[in-house]
Amino acid sequence: MELYDLSVHEMSDLIKSKKISSVELTQVILDRIKKVDGEIGSYITVLEESAIKRAREVQDKIDKGETNSPLAGIPVAFKDNICTEGIKTTCASKMLDNFIPPYNATVSHKLFLEDTVLVGKLNMDEFAMGGSTENSFHKLTKNPWDTKRVPGGSSGGAAASVAAGLAAFALGSDTGGSIRQPASFCGVVGMKPTYGAVSRYGLVAFASSLDQIGPISKNVSDCALILNAITGYDLNDSTSANVNYPDYTKSLQNDVKGLKIGIPKEYITQGINDEVKKAVLDGVKVLENLGAKCEEFSLPITEYAIPAYYLISSAEASSNLARYDGIKYGFRAEKFTDLSDLYRQTRSEGFGTEVKRRIMLGTYALSSGYYDEYYNKALQVRTLIKKGFSDAFEKYDAVLGPTAPTTAYKIGEKSEDPLEMYLGDIYTASVNIAGLPGLSIPCGMDSNNLPIGMQIIGKPFDESTLLRIGYTFEKNTEFHKNRAKI
């Protein structure tokens, strides 16, 4: 196995045993980016010079015994909506194409304190709006398993970079499935933590009550290491939860005996691909054989998750994106007649089609004549979805199902039908609506040799149980060891 294909744990062990240096490892990743990313398109910005400089500084600390972080010297990349001081953060939009943040996001700061090496910023759907990474102003990102197919979205660049060995791990953001769905499509591990567990300070907002930063990695053990680094209370984020956060690596136990896992009937009957269904149910059998008690139950509110999600997220996007007016920062139209025309021209030229679509939907839903009929109704459905999961967790330790109803589809296949693409979030969006943690892990391959993801959903702040289930599944299967041949 090549160096770039190793897990974070394996890379860290090699650095600590002085078999390789952080500089050598970083150069391997940068060389891999030069060789492969022209075909994949996962990066918007590659920080070659500063990454090597940073790797030298970190290696010096390692040699002097000044750092013992398991992430020290490990090359990482961030989705391009996570602020990095002095480094362009574009959200894959013309509107922010020249934006250089004057500060670091909390997660950026925390990972720099862990002595990671930032190698670049990753492509995404514009302002995180999309499920295929086809909505970027900059470029198209392709799936490393089949470059004729999408990597998923909106964190498609992040998932593709990890799957193709272009980063040891990545940080993405998840508003309705934007970490878990691309992780499923690209055959890697993706975690959406509990809302409030990871600070959103410095994450460019799409829908503030749904957005959550999380890790994308090659296996569950790496996911636990990254969670240890990025979770925690943050005074800069008013929605940050001041609770006790555990050492997530202690949950890496090869044992699911006695755990009760519920499988919603609606997750394996509605619009799911037959191969995806079989792989997930085979995964259930693996856990049952290892001592978990798995049973079907009904979660009927599932069918309302997509309309509720798109109303809530679009309404919040309409509000959050109002700040991009050509006055304060970002893109400004060159030709305009007065202030109103400046706003109109700037937003018309600066935003892409999908972003405009969601702003219009959200503005309509918030308008005085329709607020109660649409937005308020969506909030009521949100309460019902939260109650549905709360009732389920009175009986089960976790809920399990597919991450996405299909494997990766062909580029352009759904771009003309946004409603069909939106349905790809059917199993993931309700997790954001309820503020729950969700973990996607590889559980099989389809007949086209494309990865299939299995999603495990947990109680609020119970990421440990998800990691325990995911780790046990990995220890008894080989799917996480598959690598894209590119």
Q: Of residues 7, 12, 178, 318, which has the active-site annotation?
A: 178
Q: Of residues 154, 199, 217, 314, which has the active-site annotation?
A: 154
Q: Of residues 7, 21, 79, 440, which has the active-site annotation?
A: 79
Per-residue H/E/C for the chain: CCHHHCCHHHHHHHHHCCCCCHHHHHHHHHHHHHHHHHHHCCEEEECHHHHHHHHHHHHHHHHCCCCCCCCCCCEEEEECCECECCECCCCCCHHHCCCCCCCCCHHHHHHHHCCCEEEEEECCCHHHCCCCCCCCCCCCCCECCECCECCCCCCHHHHHHHHCCCCCEEEEEECCCCCHHHHHHHCCEEEECCCCCECCCCECCCCCCCCEEEEEECCHHHHHHHHHHHECCCCCCCCCCCCCCCCHHHHCCCCCCCCEEEEEHHHHCCCCCHHHHHHHHHHHHHHHHCCCEEEEECCHHHHHHHHHHHHHHHHHHHHHHHHCCCCCCCCCCCCCCCHHHHHHHHHHHHCCHHHHHHHHHHHHHHCCCCHHHHHHHHHHHHHHHHHHHHHHHCCCCEEEEECCCCCCCECCCCCCCHHHHHHHHCCCHHHHHHCCCEEEEEEEECCCCCEEEEEEEECCCCHHHHHHHHHHHHHCCCHHHCCCCC
**AA identity, residue 157:** G
* 79: annotated active-site residue: yes
* 178: annotated active-site residue: yes
Q: Are 261 and 400 in contact (CB under 8 A)?
A: yes
Cα distance between residue 195 and residue 468, in whole Å: 20
Dihedral (CA of 7, 13, 15, 19) sign: negative
459: left (phi over 0), alpha (psi -120 to 50) or beta: beta
Cα distance between residue 6 and residue 29, in whole Å: 11
* 154: annotated active-site residue: yes
Which residues are tagged catalytic? 79, 154, 178
